[in-house]
Each structure stands twice: as structure tokens, then as C-alpha cells.
Amino acid sequence: MTKKQVSTDELISAIIKGIDDVKGEDIQLLDLREIENTVCDYFIICSGTSNTQVNAISGSVQKGVSKELKDKPWHIEGQTNSEWVLMDYVNVVVHIFQKQVREFYDIESLWGDAKITKIKSV
């Protein structure tokens, strides 16, 4: 039996739902497809207020995507200190920051050529 191919739109939707379920803040979708030599097609960036919430967001995303789409991240980094957790779903990379760390690295401005969509919380 072959594994069902997960569409990028389904993956993005499941990730955003996982973030929203645990009150992740300032969710932004960066479309990188028009930029040459990028490592993925999309970044999803959000903030948490503490390392506990950053961990809760990453756990919620993982569980939601696994349950809904039977998919899991190829790689996860940053769960040790939970200031910046990166979840790599190959075409979509999720960045979950504590607010002050997000402001410091300001990756939205590093990818200024990307089309940025602010996601409203449900």
C-alpha cells in the first residue's frame, strides 16, 4: 500500500490549525516560490509567549498533522531550549519563536522578497 501524497495546501492548513489551537500569535505565511534557490516553498512563522507555549505549539502542530494527514516532520530543531523551534516538513518549514527571539532574528525582513500573508486567528 502506498502512502497518500499530502498536498502543500492541506499541510499548511493543518499546521496553522495546530498553531491556532494553542493560541500561537502573529502567524505569518511566507511564500518563497518566486525566490531563486530557496530550501522550501513556504515558511510559517509564529510566536509564543514562553518556552512552555513554544513547546505546546510544536506539539500541537506535530499531533495535528500526524492525526489529520498521517505525516510527520522530516526534522525538528530547538526543542531543548524552546526559544526557536524549527519544524521541517520539506516543502513547508515552521518557525516557532518566543517573541524577543523573533524580534532579534527578524527573519521576515531577511526574506523581504517573499509574499507575506498574515493569518488571522480563528
pLDDT tens for the 122 residues of the chain, in order: 444 567 999 999 999 999 999 999 999 999 999 998 888 999 999 999 999 999 999 999 999 999 999 999 999 999 999 999 999 999 999 999 999 999 999 999 998 889 999 998 76
Whole-model pTM? 0.92
- In CATH, the number for domain 8-101 is 3.30.460.10
Residue listed under C-alpha cell 513547546: 55
The domain limits of the chain are: 8-101
Residue listed under C-alpha cell 499531533: 63
